[in-house]
Structure 1
Amino acid sequence: METPHFIRPKPLTAGSRVAALSLSSGFVSEVPQRYAAGVRQARESLGWDIVAAPNAFRGAEYLYTNPQARADDLHWALESPEIDGMVSIIGGDDSIRLLPLLDRGLLRAHPKAFLGYSDSTVTLMQFLQAGGMAYHGPAVLTDLAENGGMHPYAVRSLQQAFGLGSYQLSPAPEWTQAKQDWEDETAQQIRRPFEKGDGWVWLQGGSGEGHLLGGCIEILDMLSGTPGELPLDMWHGAVMALETSNDVPKPSQVGYWLRNWAAKGVLAQLSGLLLARPRDYTPQMVDELYTWVRRVLKEAGCEDLPVLANVDFGHTSPQMTLPLGARVRLDSDAGTVQVWP
């Protein structure tokens, strides 16, 4: 079975014109000052010129009632010669309603960079199915609009993911889950409290190399059995990256989802597994999660699969950007994750 190859879109760099899309929740219309902070800080830290898609600010009720308007914004961004790439404004829970409305021919004809996480996993998977790389990383209202300015770790990771040379992933020097009041404009200038970085955890050792696939575990499960799900053969030789959302699924539920992937034949095809720092988990829940992961991998005969946990992507801050479709190599002996974007 051949390993899939993904087209690398034009990188987002200083001077890029980036469309901001509301593909799920239209919440942005309630916090325009937070959006403005994200646009300003992305310009200051990355040199991006972010422009709102035509329907992005139509309001939560309108966009919920009119999923076609959301799909139209994606199509507009793909076809517009003035748009270099796209970024999700915020997640939500119903991007899956766009699946029947997407023009996959446009995804193939106009390979452009798309950046997002959480519910944006739906859209990320469609870019991968169309044969192009996609970028699991910050949204406008989260890391781009981080209180006190974009975190240097998030900025560097974006630049690395869109850069030309290979690089190594690194643990964040600090992290936070402190709540933010996005409606408080004065708080926008106040940096949140951060905890000292706690590093990575190798749950299983070894080395493995493959193309990177994955996203938010709840959304990947939601896609199961739909046309938006990645085909089984696309997982052949892949390194899977999984993150949990602020819905805080129980460790046992994560275990059940992994069992489903074992039953589908996905786990047996993998070359490695990356697990994000789980959002809002207590230390006891983290221990339970790791126990479940090891248990399911043993059940599936995957005890030799290299597994790295507590990685800084997804619903954590600052979060790294993962170039889905890129080659990655895990090596527990060296303690490294090398990426070829």
Structure 2
Amino acid sequence: MNSRFAAPVSFTTHSAVPALPAGGVIGVIAPAGPSEFDLHSATRWMEARGYQLKVFPGVWEKDGYLAGSDAVRLRDLHDAFADDTVDAILCMRGGYGCTRFLEHIDFELLRRHPKPFVGYSDITALHLAITRYAGFVTFHGAMLNADLLGNKQPPTESSLLRMLSGQQPALLEHPAAYPLTTLAPGSASGRLLGGNLSMICATIGTAFELDDQGIILFIEDVNEPLYRVDRLLTHLRQAGKLGRVHGVLVGDFAGVDVSRLELLLKQELGPLNIPVLAGWRSGHCDPNITLPMGAHVRLDADKQQLVLEQVVVTAQT
């Protein structure tokens, strides 16, 4: 095993990252699947919001179901973090491929150059790895192609930019048009960790598996039939990944009947006697609200609130 992460790291507190400044540079990488990239639209989007765009080479490549080879995608990840002109890193899309190069990530390099890193879906593997071995907050949030250039509802963009720029209030706003459901009452604090449920389960048994000690677990997924969601939750439970969780925030499960999903969640999570709040609009949904992975938060299922208990970005000097 690569010595850079041979000894598991347990961060009780994850460090804030430098905020995205006005006029800052946003680097775009494609660490997972390929996608058509419209440079003109992306540049226009950035400039309209006062930012500059830097596109890393792998965005233009395609290797079957991957956006370039593992070496190309890993190089872009390293280069984007190492580049001191880049203020934040935005993934182009998810798909598949991040798990293929996790053991080759230079976490020492990342620790020397912390900055906002944003994505979801397959990018969950990178969130789990970075929070575990680099120890700074990352962001489960909008990606360039599917979300920002896909014209998702305004809270998608505003929640991302508020979070990265340091303008996000402690109480995370959730759109009133999408009611939340308290599946189990109570309030609890812990580090917010998780992401795509399939990817969380895919890393179990590896050096990059979910560090579940005292966390608020966030889960979401897309196009998984209910029986597969059942299987994934059962896998988490039987792998011992639910017993130390302090609370669960359930994001969007696109393609699953909500009432049947909630019944399953009550069956699986109810015996844990921890707060469970469902319906949070983060994941493969519209709008897609940004969440800070690794940040210390308070989940209040009774008040249906998620509150930041630490600073997640700091102003650059």
In structure 1, what is the Cα distance between the partners aligned to 2:103 and 2:300? 40
Who is 1:326 aligned against?
Answer: 295
Letter in 2 for 1:73: D
Letter in 1 for 2:117: F
5 Å-filtered alignment, 1:85-124, equals 85-124=88-127
Contact 2:221–2:253 (Cα < 8 Å) also in 1: yes
Who is 2:13 aligned against?
Answer: 5
Contact 2:61–2:68 (Cα < 8 Å) also in 1: no
1:14–1:297 distance in 2 versus 1, CA, 3 Å? same
In structure 2, what is the Cα distance between the partners aligned to 1:128 and 1:309? 24
Contact 1:3–1:236 (Cα < 8 Å) also in 2: no
1:36–1:239 distance in 2 versus 1, CA, 3 Å? farther
1:22 to 26, 30, 39: 30
In structure 1, what is the Cα distance between the partners aligned to 2:43 and 2:201? 32
1:235 and 2:212 matched: yes
1:287 and 2:262 matched: no
In structure 2, what is the Cα distance between the partners aligned to 1:319 and 1:292? 23
Q: After superposition, what is the alpha-carbon deviation per residue over 1:27-72, rounded to whole angstroms, capped at 9, x for unaligned?
A: 2xxx333x54244224324x33221112221234495562101000
Who is 1:252 aligned against?
Answer: 227
Q: After superposition, what is the alpha-carbon deviation per residue over 1:237-285, rounded to whole angstroms, capped at 9, x for unaligned?
A: 110111112xx1122322222222222332121121111121123xxx2
1:157 to 153, 156, 159: 159
Give the Å deviation of 1:138.
0.5
Give the Å deviation of 1:216.
0.7
In structure 2, what is the Cα distance between the partners aligned to 1:75 and 1:158? 23
1:314 to 276, 283, 292: 283
Q: After superposition, what is the alpha-carbon deviation per residue over 1:317-337, rounded to whole angstroms, capped at 9, x for unaligned?
A: 111100111121122333322
Q: After superposition, what is the alpha-carbon deviation per residue over 1:294-341, rounded to whole angstroms, capped at 9, x for unaligned?
A: 11124xx31x21111111100001111001111211223333221233
Bigger mean CA deviation after superposition, 252-261 or 208-217: 252-261
Q: Secondary structure at the match of 2:102?
A: helix
Q: Secondary structure at the match of 1:277?
A: strand
5 Å-filtered alignment, 1:7-86, equals 7-27=15-35, 31-33=36-38, 36-45=40-49, 47-61=50-64, 66-86=69-89
Who is 1:209 aligned against?
Answer: 189
1:269–1:3 distance in 2 versus 1, CA, 3 Å? farther
Letter in 1 for 2:162: Q
TM-score if structure 1 supplies the norm length? 0.81
In structure 2, what is the Cα distance between the partners aligned to 1:32 and 1:278? 27
Who is 1:337 aligned against?
Answer: 306
Contact 2:82–2:110 (Cα < 8 Å) also in 1: no
Contact 1:39–1:144 (Cα < 8 Å) also in 2: no
In structure 2, what is the Cα distance between the partners aligned to 1:218 and 1:203? 21
1:62–1:219 distance in 2 versus 1, CA, 3 Å? closer
1:144 and 2:164 matched: no
1:42–1:199 distance in 2 versus 1, CA, 3 Å? farther
Letter in 2 for 1:135: F
Structure 2: runs of 5 or more not aligned: 1-9, 313-317
In structure 1, what is the Cα distance between the partners aligned to 2:224 and 2:157? 29
Give the Å deviation of 1:81.
1.4
Q: Secondary structure at the match of 1:267?
A: coil
Bigger mean CA deviation after superposition, 97-106 or 67-76: 97-106
1:63–1:267 distance in 2 versus 1, CA, 3 Å? closer
2:175 to 172, 175, 186: 172
1:224 and 2:204 matched: yes
Letter in 1 for 2:96: D
Bigger mean CA deviation after superposition, 236-245 or 49-58: 49-58
Which is richer in helix? 1
Give the Å deviation of 1:8.
1.1
Structure 1: runs of 5 or more not aligned: 174-196
Contact 2:37–2:145 (Cα < 8 Å) also in 1: no
Who is 2:7 aligned against?
Answer: none
1:138–1:165 distance in 2 versus 1, CA, 3 Å? closer
In structure 2, what is the Cα distance between the partners aligned to 1:307 and 1:96? 28
Aligned length: 299
